[in-house]
């Protein structure tokens, strides 16, 4: 029978949270092993024994971030009764999280590893996949709105989702640059003005060749199933 290992002399959950906060603040490349172990209150051997290595620790930290800091935005996306309300509340939840004065600004998933040396390619790919997963969730929520009649049937869902994802990421960058909560909330309200009204989708959110009011659809009338 294998011998039981020595008991840990630290709280793993607390150490993981401290690592998450450091990665969030300075990014993957900016968080040195010394900085991580200092923030976590552990030694390098303890870090390797508990988490494997720096990349594995980072992946766990991202998972913790998703479950905690990202939870409110995810909740809004799926509990608001309308697609428009879901997108608006999701963006506002991101603003609130990105401008909390007691936490690092911006979104860890967006900011933690945008650039760096080649050795960080796997980390960047991991974060890019996480962002794609979030974008796909938003696209599905918008598609629900189209199928329910809230959005015109000829709305280009991929482009509309891409637009709001771009706004979402931009909010994070602006927050890191020091923009305040009120200013970013105003940006959200401006972005929501691009929401396609039933029967009147903006031209750049309609698939090429789709009929519009100018092509014979009755202004203000239903666009059909």
pLDDT, tens digit, for every residue of 127-179? 999 999 999 999 999 999 999 999 999 999 999 999 999 999 999 999 999 99
Residue 170, domain member (yes or no): yes
Residue 169, domain member (yes or no): yes
Residue 132, domain member (yes or no): yes
What is the value of pTM for the model shown?
0.80
Residue 57, domain member (yes or no): yes
Quote the CA–CA distance of 31 and 111 in Å, as a whole number: 13
Residue 3, domain member (yes or no): no
Residue 213, domain member (yes or no): no
CATH of the domain at 46: 1.10.357.10
- The residues, ordered by sequence, that sit 6+ positions from 120 with a Cβ below 8 Å of its Cβ are 28, 29, 113
Q: How many CB atoms lie within 10 A of CB 82?
A: 14
pLDDT, residue 119, reads 64
Q: Which residues pair with 200 in a beta bridge?
A: 197
Alpha helices, H only, the chain = 12-30, 33-40, 44-51, 54-67, 71-79, 83-98, 108-111, 121-147, 157-176, 181-192
Per the structure, how many domains does the chain have?
A: 1
Quote the CA–CA distance of 63 and 61 in Å, as a whole number: 5
Reference 113, options 153, 77, 65, 73; nearest CA is: 65
Residue 204, domain member (yes or no): no
The residue range of the domain holding 165 is 12-194
Residue 53, domain member (yes or no): yes
């Amino acid at each position: 029978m294998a011998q039981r290992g020595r008991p840990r002399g630290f709280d793993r959950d607390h150490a993981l949270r401290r690592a998450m906060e450091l990665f969030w603040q300075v990014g993957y490349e900016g968080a040195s092993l010394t900085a991580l172990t200092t923030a976590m209150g552990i030694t390098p051997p303890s870090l390797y024994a508990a988490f494997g290595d720096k990349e594995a620790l980072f992946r766990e930290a991202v998972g913790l971030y998703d479950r905690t800091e990202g939870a409110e935005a995810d909740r809004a996306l799926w509990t608001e009764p309308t697609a428009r309300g879901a997108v608006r509340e999701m963006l506002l939840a991101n603003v609130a999280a990105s401008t909390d004065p007691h936490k690092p600004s911006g979104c860890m998933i967006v900011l933690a590893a945008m650039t760096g040396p080649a050795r960080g390619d796997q980390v960047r790919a991991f974060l890019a996949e996480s962002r794609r997963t979030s974008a796909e969730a938003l696209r599905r929520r918008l598609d629900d709105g189209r199928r329910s009649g809230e959005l015109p049937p000829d709305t280009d869902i991929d482009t509309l989702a891409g637009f709001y994802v771009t706004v979402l990421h931009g909010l994070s960058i602006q927050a890191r640059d020091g923009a305040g909560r009120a200013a970013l909330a105003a940006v959200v309200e401006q972005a929501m003005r691009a929401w396609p009204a039933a029967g009147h989708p903006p031209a750049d959110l309609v698939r090429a060749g789709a009929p519009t009011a100018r092509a014979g659809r009755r202004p203000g009338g239903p666009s059909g199933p």
